């Protein structure tokens, strides 16, 4: 699918990986809607890029549906990218106490249920599109994590939520294949996002040094480059692509 002239929406597009995708899509000629819970940042980026902004919690059915409808008002919605997510670190059980249920439920609700919520509304909108010149109605990209495969000590909630995103990728692609809609997931490793920006520089360097090659944190624009390729490469469907510099996370 060509990005030039396409209509796209990016959930979680106000910062980090999502903001990089937003900038890349606009640079490549897409019309864009940014959906995010961070209203101030989202409005600023939307103004910078000439995009539309919607304040959205991905777990809220009505708001996700409304954001997709807003995007579709600008033309057939062809591209949906979901980067929204949260993190939490705690062991299942330890001398410090048992893992509370609420944060586990919250991570699954935002990272997995929220991703599905976006997927179902975006795909429903895409069903109404006429196929483009390549015979496609739309492309949906989701964000997992290598923690889905290599979850570390204390990452049980995060790994479970991202593992669910990995697990639904193929059946979603199969569900939508006859309607000419592709579904793929990117599983990034250690990336230089706001989550890691709060760490001391020494800690950031140590994390990057764990990566076999290149021995550094990933840049958000590298994620965006892969997202753009996934959109444009018609044979990529039902895939989960690790973007991690050959990193396999150790237990801790």
Task: For residue 167, give the H/E element and its range.
Answer: helix 156-177
Residue 8: CB atoms within 10 Å: 28
- Please give the DSSP secondary-structure letter assigned to residue 37: S
Could you tell me which of 111, 105, 102, 122 has the C-alpha nearest to residue 84? Answer: 111
Q: Are 97 and 117 in contact (CB under 8 A)?
A: no
Query: In this structure, what token pair is assigned to residue 149?
Result: 């495969």
Residue 219 backbone dihedrals phi, psi, to 5 degrees = -95, 135
Residue 149 annotated to the active site: no
Using CA atoms, how far residue 2 sits from 118, 132, 171, in Å, is 22, 9, 25
Residue 149, classified by CB atoms within 10 Å of its CB into exposed (0-12), middle (13-18) or buried (19+), is middle
Catalytic hit among 158, 180, 191, 223: 158
Q: Which residues are catalytic?
A: 158
């Amino acid at each position: 699918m060509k990005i030039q002239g396409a209509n796209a929406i990016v959930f979680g597009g106000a910062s980090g990986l999502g903001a990089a995708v937003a900038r890349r899509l606009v640079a490549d000629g897409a019309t864009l809607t940014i959906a995010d819970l961070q209203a101030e940042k989202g409005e600023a980026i939307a103004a910078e890029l000439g995009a539309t902004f919607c304040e959205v919690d991905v777990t809220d059915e009505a708001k996700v549906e409304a954001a997709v409808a807003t995007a579709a008002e600008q033309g057939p919605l062809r591209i949906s990218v979901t980067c929204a997510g949260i993190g939490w670190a705690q062991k299942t059980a330890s001398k410090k106490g048992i893992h509370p249920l609420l944060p586990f439920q919250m991570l699954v609700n935002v990272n997995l249920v929220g991703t599905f919520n976006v997927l179902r509304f975006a795909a429903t909108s895409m069903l109404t599109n006429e196929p483009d010149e390549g015979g496609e109605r739309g492309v949906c990209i989701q964000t997992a994590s290598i923690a889905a495969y290599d979850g570390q000590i204390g990452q049980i909630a995060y790994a479970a939520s991202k593992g669910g995103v990995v697990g639904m990728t193929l059946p979603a692609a199969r569900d939508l294949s006859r309607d000419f809609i592709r579904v793929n997931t990117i599983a990034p490793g250690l990336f230089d996002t706001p989550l890691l920006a709060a760490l001391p520089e020494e800690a950031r360097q140590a994390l990057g040094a764990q990566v076999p090659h290149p021995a550094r944190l990933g840049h958000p624009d590298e994620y965006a480059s892969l997202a753009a390729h996934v959109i444009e490469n018609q044979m990529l469907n039902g895939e989960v692509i690790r973007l991690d510099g050959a990193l396999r996370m150790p237990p801790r």
